[in-house]
Structure formats: structure tokens, C-alpha cells
Amino acid sequence: MSSTLTWRIQRLLYLSRRARGSIALRGWAGTLRHLLQRRANMSGGHASETTIPTAAAPLARLITGRPIRRMLVIDSVAPDPTRDSGSVRACHMLHLLHEDGWELDFLASDGFSSTADVVRLANMGVRYIQSSPLRWLREHGQQLEAVLLSRVSTATQYLGLIRRHAPQAKVIFDTVDLHYLREQRAARLSGSRQLSRHAERSRRREWQAITHSDVTLVVSTEEQAALARDLPGSRVELLSNIHEVHGRRQGFNERKGLLFIGGFGHPPNADAVRWFATDILPLLLREEPELTLHVAGDVDTTSRQALSRPGLTLHGRVADLEPLLESCRVSVAPLRFGAGVKGKVNHAMSYGLPVVVTPIAAEGMHLTDGVDALIAADAQEFAAAVLRLYRDQRLWTQLSEGSLANVRTHFSIELARRTLRRVLAEPGQSSSTGA
């Protein structure tokens, strides 16, 4: 069975379940009234007899009250929530788009995805493209209403093709984070001229992608402000990390140890753990000899060997982080460079796990020191903040509650839904920004 047919069957089953549920709840007449009112609300008008959907109308139109809209999503690889926080955000975005009635096609620009990746996408109502990108765009480009390009490498590779084969489509460039800002900070920290030159190349590529897209998505207000200053003619929208609020089940006394979330494939994570192990952990072990930092994320063999020491446990990639989030007492984010919003911080806070962060890790997170996190700049301050939070139950409870409130306010699913709807409300501007 082809992937297209499989996707269509899964989507039909999904929509039919929604229809049956509505009919069971409201009855046929009530369901029809609900659909008419929903359509009226979306259009800002009033329902009328002429808006009654006929038996020949597509099921998606019947259920959602909207016509089918088709979007192509391109990223380097298929999202895997166990791999990184960007994947968590991407999966939430795909789910929200699917809920809003978008017909979604996904292209992995590196050309490879596992069976698990394809199944995961299908379960979200997303069809995986197996043919060549050029062939697919020639056949389907004219049907697209929107294209979402994730990361600068993808935008650089595909913007021209999209404008050529889908000139009517709205092009949305999702930066995920501004790579050049992260690389500039890494260059300053290391003093490397090579990294500085690489950051400048990234800046030129990202700015070009921004100016040739209809809308650019960033994840932090700091990034949005930087682009408003440097590229004032570009439309830049804030779509930050997206998290459910899980809450906490275990209290202060049922927990012990520290947690860091993040794989070493992301340079800021590797640097953060090395700095913590070298400069911060020895200070902690003098005061709390039994303390252990648990690191959850991919770790290369060389780093694993170099970091072998008391007080540090490298778990590798963890499919289910909840046991660690419910058993550790404090989460740490000792990042010395980076950009965007830090999913490791969001993830911990969504479970009510208090965090100690550096100013770089706090960027874009809407944090207030002593209210929803502790913020510390150098090794001595960081160690002192960890010990204070680790020992003070009253402070721990206060920050736990503040963490949950922070996620509800700034990183909720509903906030992301409203942003996506606003971004996709208007048609593309390809005639003025074509490449």
C-alpha cells in the first residue's frame, strides 16, 4: 500500500471518529448547527441556510467548516521528540496544523528517515514524501497554499525551487533559533577567528532567507528585536517553544540529584556539561559528596570517556524523561553560549522541576531571578545557587509553582495555535519577494 493511500485512510478514520463523536454528543441536527455556527465564527458573519454542507462536500470540510488547505513542510530530518527540543516544538506545530484542517506533506532534506519517523508523522496526520523533491514539486507545487522551511540550511536549499514551482504559496521560514547569534557567541567565548568567519557566513545566509520569505518565525523576543533592528522591512513573528503543563507528582523530600537535558550534538550542550563537570561540580561535591548530575541526551564516545568521574552519570538518549524529571530535585542549564529558547529549561519547568540557569540560558525564557528560577553567571555563583535551591524546601516549592505558571503564560499550546492562525491568515507575498 502506498504512503499516500495509507495517509488518506488514516486521515479519513480520524475525521470519521470526530464526526461520530459530535453526532453522539449533539445529534445530527445539533452537529449541523454546531458546524454552521463554527463557520460563522471563523468568517465573522452569521450562519445561513445556504451554508449547509451537502452530502457531496469533503469530510474535512464537513467536520472543520473550512476547505482543504495544503502545506509542504521541509526540515533536514523528521522530528523525533526524544532527540531534541526543536523536535518537540515541531511535533506540536504539525499537530496544531493538522487539527486546523491543513493537509500536510513532509520532506526530509537529507533524504533519509526511518520507518519509525514515517509512522510517527503518519500518526500526526502528516504524509511523508518519498519521491525526489523536484519531481514532487513539479507535480504538486501548484496545489500548495503554504510552505514551511525549517532551519537556514533547508531555506537556502529550497527557497528558489519553491518560488519557481509554487509561486502562489506563502513561504514561512522557521529559524528554530538564529544560528548566527549562537555562533557569534561561541566565537567570542573561544576567541576563534574561524568560528567568527563561520558565524558571518551564517548571518548572510539567514538574512537572505529572511528577506526572501513572506514570514519568518523566531522563538525569542530577543531574536525578534534583533531582526526588527537589522532587517526592519521583514515580517518576523514570535512562535516560541510549545509545552504542555504536566505538573509535579513528587515533592521536595522524595527527590535527590541534579538533571541536565540535552545532547552533545548541539555544541552549547557539550560545552555546558564540560564546564559544569570541570568548574562547578567539584564545588558542589565538597558540600554534598553524594550529589550526582544526571545527563540525559546523546553523548559521543570521546566525550563520555573524558567525562567519566564521580558525581556524573551520562544516561545517553532517554526515550521517557518523566522518571528523571520526577526523581531529580534541581535542573541545571549552565549554558555559556547559545540562542533562541532553551527547551531543556521549558521541559523541566513544565513538570514543576526548579531550574538554575546562566544568563544565556535565561534568554528568551521570561524568567525572574528568585520567582521562577535562579540565575547565576559564574561557577562560584552557580554552585551557590544550586546548593541553596537543593537545601531550601520553601524556596524549592516557590520556584516550582513559578515554573508551572511561566510555562502556562508564555509557552502554551493555545498561544502557539493563535500565532499559527495569524501567520497563515493572509496569502503569500511571492510576487514581491520572489527569488
Nearest to 255 by CA among 383, 371, 393: 393
327 Cβ neighbours under 8 A, 6+ residues apart: 250, 254, 255, 256, 257
Distance CA 392, CA 247 (A): 20
pLDDT recorded at residue 308: 93
Q: Mean pLDDT, to the nearest integer, of 212-231?
A: 94
Number of continuous H segments (helices) and E segments (strands) in the chain: 19, 13
pLDDT at 430 > cutoff 70: no
pLDDT recorded at residue 63: 53
At 89-116, the pLDDT tens digits run 999 999 999 999 999 999 998 877 788 9
pLDDT recorded at residue 47: 34
At 377-401, the pLDDT tens digits run 999 999 999 999 999 999 999 999 9
pLDDT recorded at residue 86: 87
Are 246 and 282 contacting, i.e. CB atoms less than 8 angstroms apart?
no
pLDDT at 26 > cutoff 50: no
pLDDT recorded at residue 376: 98
pLDDT recorded at residue 16: 63
- Whether 252-411 and 68-242+415-433 are alike in CATH topology: the answer is yes
Residues of the chain above pLDDT 70, percent: 82
What nine digits make up the cell of 267?
Answer: 555544541
Query: What CATH number was assigned to the domain covering residues 68-242+415-433?
Result: 3.40.50.2000
Residues of the chain above pLDDT 90, percent: 71
Among 51-55, 73-77, 105-109, 317-321, whose mean pLDDT is lowest? 51-55
At 222-277, the pLDDT tens digits run 899 999 999 999 999 999 999 999 999 999 999 999 999 999 999 999 999 999 99
pLDDT at 355 > cutoff 60: yes
Quote the mean pLDDT of the chain.
86
pLDDT recorded at residue 396: 98
Distance CA 332, CA 258 (A): 7
pLDDT recorded at residue 432: 36
Q: Tell which wins on pLDDT, 28 or 122.
A: 122
Looking at domain 252-411, its CATH architecture is 3-Layer(aba) Sandwich (3.40)
Nearest to 173 by CA among 70, 88, 95, 75: 75
pLDDT at 54 > cutoff 50: no
pLDDT recorded at residue 226: 92
Among 9-13, 52-56, 203-207, whose mean pLDDT is lowest? 52-56
- Side chain identity, residue 118: V
Q: Mean pLDDT, to the nearest integer, of 292-297?
A: 97
pLDDT recorded at residue 341: 87
Q: Residue 417 CB: number of other CB atoms within 10 A?
A: 18
Q: Where are the domains of the chain?
A: 1-61, 68-242+415-433, 252-411
Among 114-118, 277-281, 303-307, 415-419, whose mean pLDDT is lowest? 114-118
pLDDT recorded at residue 19: 61
pLDDT at 340 > cutoff 50: yes
Q: Tell which wins on pLDDT, 281 or 177.
A: 281
Q: Mean pLDDT, to the nearest integer, of 308-325?
A: 95
Distance CA 106, CA 125 (A): 10
Over the chain, what HEC string results?
CCHHHHHHHHHHHHHHHHHHHHHHHHHHHHHHHHHHHHHHHHHCCCCCHHHCCCCCCCHHHHHHCCCCEEEEEEECCCCCCCCCHHHHHHHHHHHHHHHCCEEEEEEECCCCCCHHHHHHHHHCCEEECCCCHHHHHHHHHHHCCEEEEECHHHHHHHHHHHHHHCCCCEEEEECCCCHHHHHHHHHHHHCCHHHHHHHHHHHHHHHHHHHCCCEEEECCHHHHHHHHHHCCCCCEEECCCCCCCCCCCCCHHHCCCEEEECCCCCHHHHHHHHHHHHHHHHHHHHHCCCCCEEEECCCCHHHHHHCCCCCEEEEECCCCCHHHHHHCCEEEECCCCCCCCCHHHHHHHHCCCCEEECHHHHCCCCCCECCCEEECCCHHHHHHHHHHHHHCHHHHHHHHHHHHHHHHHHCCHHHHHHHHHHHCCCCCCHHHHCC
Nearest to 412 by CA among 369, 370, 366, 371: 366
- Side chain identity, residue 132: S
What nine digits make up the cell of 307?
Answer: 567525562
Cα torsion angle, 329, 353, 335, 264, sign: positive
Q: Mean pLDDT, to the nearest integer, of 340-345?
A: 89
pLDDT recorded at residue 113: 79
At 127-166, the pLDDT tens digits run 999 889 999 999 999 999 999 999 999 999 999 999 999 9
Q: Mean pLDDT, to the nearest integer, of 320-342?
A: 94
What nine digits make up the cell of 403?
Answer: 515554573
Q: Tell which wins on pLDDT, 85 or 126.
A: 126
What nine digits make up the cell of 354?
Answer: 526548579
